[in-house]
Structure 1
């Protein structure tokens, strides 16, 4: 494929993913080796789980960074983090940074800063476990130090050549096996008799995400020991980590590209990685690099997190005396028997409370609190598969139940919290999986083998990002078609259909409000919901032949009934049926604009009052687009505020009426210039597309969608005449043409492949 948005020479290193690991690698390579690093991130915000997001009312929330250990002055980890981020300021959390709360007896245990103080507090609380012949608590702390000692030797051995690495590995192997071959619960059962003490020590199992009976003691020791000497939080929030690292990366010529989905690592003939294939802004191509590093998430083998972000009407400091510490709330002391949250059973047995707003000393954010539950991703697979209005409504209700269940569970230790909640948002395994790299408005090209012939068709992605992370398209049967009958009649559940990566640049912009208008609502719906999630106002004008053609009526009705879901204001103002009231006229469009300019309420960040304050998204046939665009421009809407996507109204599989246009379909012989001085003759059959003829002749012209959307097959017409069989336009020399929909009208046609 072609290279996209890249320099003429390869990047020194390409890093896939902008989590802290990827940013750390890029920053280190940039500073120590002077490498120009390119980071490719499929999310639209860098930082991975360190990124933060804002909701209306000034509520800031973090995705996964709640506290970090070993960040004191002089700590090796602090020095490394300063190097990677350029010196982000870290503030210590309160002396008591973790509180372990047990509902079964109402007891709370607070963990102070310092391993010695924590050990003495445990000995004081559980004196029977510290008898002279069996100093179990002291041995527990010594074993954690042994784990860290082995850990340091392990990485030292990995950095040394042979024979030193082999000698160190041999010396540390028995110690490693002793800790790695037993679970945390097995170690605890062998070390202690008091069930309550075991419950206190294992109460932070959510930090490593797996119950004590399923995780090794080594993993427990590395997490627990990491916090012994205190925990810290970035003064300006976890988002400062990515900001600081990116500044250092860019200073050495590096860059990050967001909303860029990597689809393949490119190998040379010797099997060495030399680049990555990616899709960005609807354009697919290859980025070349000397080194390829992947920071993408592997399949998670443990439990999953449900995050509940709460906006409050008062500070947790005033309500519950919180000062930035975390609270772990357990039903009882038996963590290995804790039940993961099942949305069907609705029983909470374990929760984590954190308040990032109290940890950022100079934040000044609105009051908030974050609650985490733990679940099995399989519990949520049903909602990923459901593609109907009832499924989406059920999922919305599930999230409401999650909030209610969590608030009921933590009430014993934060009483009356539910009375102070003014805003809530829930992130489930469905939410985490939904960040798959394609924003609303894009399309996917399906590759189908029909009667042993490859057929390609592009369909807009109609999945609603919030409730349906699985990619979905909506297929409408076309009379006389080839692909749609095959998809609807032949395809069965469990069948496999190959497709190209999502593409397209018909994307949501940054305005505070948007007005989608169209008869093609498939790409508009995910854009609409995304706008609502961002707190934008939305006014929708749908145009259909009749009610039966209004495929997405139930979806828009559900969104309207939900009040825009979170923060936005949704007004499904009008559905125009052209079969009963005539085709859409300029008067209809102007009336819609005037009625909706001041009718969208509920905006928390200001209400648009003029046409110029909105962004407009148009999707429909070419003639419809021209009419609506003309009215918008006449109303004073800037052309830069209008985004368009046209689709052809030709029946699928129908041929172009050459005779009706006074043209003659005939076989042609044209020339294709593939490079300076390199020309190839190409025979094109009557009515055949240039791309089709090139594929028959094994002439490589890049292509993807075959419907004129992706523009990968674009070439320059040097001389001669070609016909665009979709819109009937004859292209003049010097213009760019799409070979997937054009056929030559003259034999002397010459096309030039560029880039």
Structure 2
């Protein structure tokens, strides 16, 4: 349907088509018969759930590298099955599903919580008591997180996490590790998955880390056929209730009258780029708190915390990354890979690892810290082999080109991307001799790529930073699902309390429950 022919009136408008918005749209369409309009600036809907291909052979997922809690009976699986109407099948990853690689040792993580604990104790027998307590503590923190999100549509206040541990001095992951453990190798191993939220131990709230670890205690899972099947499964559920999905369309403003939202003003991004207004009494923003309050809510609309939000963003920069996509001529199984993730670190000091995240780009050394993944080995339907190399960096490295147009950023930018690709390949070849020979296709995605397609400032991949201040409700009210504007709600990772696809999905559930004003929906979902 053409932009000009789409209806103007809806029950709910969702800004962005990421996991948070898709969750809201699917649940409200299925359980409340709501007519939903989803507006997406990218030409391919799905947010970080979408996939892409090159040469009609190589396929990659943009944001889904693995998801936890997808075993039968897991809450994430139950919710995902509900919003997709069981339209997505999930493949359990090969075991061990993660390898934490350090200069002096490699720790293999299996999707079995008892084995995880036993393997740690076997490696560090002197710290058995602390290890046992750690598993009890992460489960308590994760449970507090989940219960609050489902019952209150909000993450717990920072004080609740502190009182739960019985030590108000423990706030960050580093605080917890330093108080409870001695061996630096053990501390490093326990913090190895920090790339899943993009912060070093000193910056991340312990409870955020705990929720992430618990999420993966029963292993990692991958969507069979790729993450794009999530949107493909949800789209007809929206359309069955006369809803629409508009891609290649950017919301320019949230329309507000008498402190209540009445709809949005949006622009089609091709051709003559017409502008239209769409109306609904409820608008749900899935594009983050920063964009919502600083780009879409007019400056003329007073938001008491707007300046505080801007200050938070400047002070606590969001995680940005570089991804090198590799198309392979042969299966990487020949090098011993079975589909597991590899977290490779330059040292067991993650503060140092994080601080040096930019150093490799302009030096002669290989990449020190990276995540290596093989989508084709995780997906039984994959016919051609692929790999991802991901590493964190500062978005400021790409500032010289941020005002330039996608695909027209000049020779210097292309040269930098070529250098990044060479360094990634060099790093893999050093660790896995012969790997370079099977690389057939290379493509580099930077923070500018992410920003262009998602609109997130600095190309952020996890939303606003999960630092402790984020959970101090008095200081950071912009993370709440319900906004100061009547009828306007947040969803996605900023509303979900934790990053990633599962965090965005929980944000979508929280937003839906808040919109409905009751918890009957949760009971109905659990009965599905």
* Interval of TM-score (by shorter of Structure 1 and Structure 2): 0.7 to 0.9
The change in CA–CA distance for 1:195 and 1:285 in structure 2 (over 3 A counts) is same
Instruction: Tell me if structure 1 keeps the 8 A contact 2:326–2:440.
Output: yes
Alpha-carbon shift at residue 176 of structure 1 (Å): 7.5
Q: Deviations over 1:547-586 (max 9, x none)?
A: xxxxxxxxxxxxxxxxxxxxxxxxxxxxxxxxxxxxxxxx
The one of 306, 319, 342 equivalent to 1:327 is 342
Distance 2:449 2:282 in 1: 32
Aligned to 1:112: 110
- Residue 336 (1) aligns with residue 351 (2): yes
Residue number in structure 1 paired with 2:57: 58
Residue 252 of structure 1 aligns to a residue whose secondary structure is coil
Give CA deviations for 1:192-231 in whole Å, capped at 9, x if unaligned.
1111111111121111111222211111111111101111
Query: Residue 148 of structure 1 aligns with which residue?
Result: 142
Partner of 1:68: 67
1:242: Cα distance to partner? Answer: 0.8
1:60 Cα deviation (Å)? 0.6
Paired residues for 1:217-228 under 5 Å: 217-228=206-217
Aligned length: 419
What is the CA-CA distance between 1:302 and the residue it aligns to? 2.5
Cα separation, partners in 2 of 1:142 and 1:436, compared to 1, 3 Å: closer
Distance (whole Å) between structure 1 residues aligned to residue 139 and residue 168 of structure 2: 12
* Corresponding residue number in structure 1 for 2:462: none
Which of 371, 374, 377 is matched with 2:389 structurally? 371
CA separation of 1:396 and 1:192: change in aligned 2, threshold 3 A: same
In the other structure, the counterpart of 1:202 is 191
2:496 aligned residue? none
State the partner residue of 1:646.
none
1:381 to 380, 399, 403: 399
Task: Report deviation, 1:406.
Answer: 1.9
TM-aligned CA deviation for residue 6 of structure 1:
3.8
Relative to structure 1, is the Cα distance of residues 69 and 207 closer, same or farther in structure 2, using a 3 angstrom cutoff?
same
The aligned residue for residue 306 of structure 2 is: none
1:308 maps to 2:324: yes
Measured after TM superposition, the shift of residue 257 of structure 1 is 0.6
1:511 paired residue number: none
Match of 1:289 among 280, 301, 306: 280
Give the corresponding residue for 2:245: 256
| Aligned equivalents of 2:147, 2:132: Cα separation in 1 | 23
Which residue of 2 is the match for residue 21 of structure 1? 20
1:753 is matched with none
Contact 2:142 2:207 (C-alpha < 8 Å) held by counterparts: no
Q: CA deviation at 1:43?
A: 0.2
Q: How far 1:5 sits from its partner (Å)?
A: 3.4
Distance 1:385 1:34, change over 3 A: closer
* Offset at residue 436 of structure 1 (A): 6.6
| Alignment partner of 1:40 is 2:58 | no
Distance (whole Å) between structure 1 residues aligned to residue 106 and residue 184 of structure 2: 15
Secondary structure of 1:395's partner? helix
Whole-angstrom CA distance in 1 between matches of 2:430 and 2:216:
26
* Change beyond 3 A, Cα 1:174–1:227: same
C-alpha distance in 1, partners of 2:170/2:326? 40
- Give the structure-2-normalised TM-score: 0.75
Q: Do the aligned partners of 1:11 and 1:38 also contact (CA within 8 Å) in 2? A: yes
* Per-residue Cα deviation, 1:365-395 (whole angstroms, up to 9, x for no partner): x2211100110111111232579x9972111
Q: 1:91, 1:242 → 2: CA distance?
A: 18
* Structure 2 equivalent of residue 710 of structure 1: none
Secondary structure of the 1:68 match is coil
Give yes or no for contact 2:97–2:219 (8 Å, CA) kept in 1: yes
**Residue deviations 1:141-164, cap 9 Å, x none?**
11101102211342355169xxxx
Partner in structure 2 of residue 404 of structure 1: 422
Does the Cα contact within 8 Å between 2:69 and 2:77 map onto a contact in 1?
A: yes
Aligned equivalents of 1:220, 1:159: Cα separation in 2:
20
Per-residue deviation, 1:265: 0.3
Q: What's 1:12 paired with?
A: 11
Alignment of 1:592-671 (within 5 A): none
Measure, in 2, the Cα distance between the counterparts of 1:176 and 1:128. Answer: 22
Contact 1:154 1:169 in 2 (8 A): no
- Separation of aligned partners in 2, 1:124 and 1:436: 44
Relative to 1, partners in 2 of residues 1:375 and 1:279: Cα closer, same or farther, differing over 3 Å?
same
CA RMSD of aligned residues (A): 2.7
The 1:159/1:357 distance shift into structure 2, 3 A limit, reads closer
The answer (yes or no) to whether the contact 2:161–2:207 under 8 Å persists in 1 is no
Q: State how far apart, in whole Å, the 2-side matches of 1:57 and 1:187 are.
A: 48
Q: Structure 1, residues 316-357: CA drift from partner, whole Å, max 9, x if none?
A: 112x22221111111111111111125334652210011111
Asked which structure has the greater CA Rg, the reply is 1
For the 8 Å contact 2:428–2:436, the answer to whether it is kept is: no
Map of 2:449 onto structure 1 = 431
- Please state which structure has a larger fraction of its residues in strand: 1
Shift in Å, 1:29:
0.4
Aligned to 1:351: 370
User: Unaligned stretches of 5+ in structure 1?
Assistant: 438-755
Matches of 2:408 and 2:381 in 1, distance apart?
Answer: 44
Counterparts of 2:153 and 2:18, CA distance in 1: 24
Give the Cα separation in 2 of the matches to 1:314 and 1:74: 36
Tell me, in whole angstroms, the C-alpha distance in 1 between the residues paired with 2:256 and 2:326: 47
Displacement of 1:291: 0.9
Find 1:124's aligned residue among 122, 133, 144.
122
Please report how far the alpha carbon of residue 254 of structure 1 lies from its aligned counterpart in structure 2 after TM superposition: 1.1
User: Residues 279 and 181 from structure 1, CA distance in 2 versus in 1: closer, same or farther, beyond 3 angstroms?
Assistant: farther
Instruction: Work out the CA distance in 2 between the residues paired with 1:391 and 1:69.
Output: 37
Please give the alpha-carbon distance, in whole angstroms, between the structure 1 residues aligned to 2:433 and 2:450. Answer: 30
> Residues 454-533 of structure 1 correspond to what in structure 2 (within 5 A)?
none
Assess, with a 3 A threshold, how the Cα gap between structure 1 residues 198 and 289 changes in structure 2: closer, same or farther: same
**Counterparts in 2 of 1:22 and 1:98: CA distance versus 1, 3 Å:** same
Answer whether contact 1:341 1:376 (CA < 8 A) is retained. Answer: yes
Using the alignment, how far apart are the partners of 1:322 and 1:66 within structure 2?
A: 16
> Structure 1 residues 384 and 368 mapped into 2: Cα distance closer, same or farther (>3 Å)?
same
Q: Which has the higher helix share?
A: 2
* Aligned counterparts of 2:132 and 2:190: Cα–Cα separation in 1: 13
Over residues 123-153 of structure 1, what are the superposed CA-to-partner deviations in whole Å (9 max), with x where a residue is unaligned? 11111212xxxx1111111110110221134
CA distance in 2, matches of 1:109, 1:170: 34
SS of corresponding position for 2:282: strand
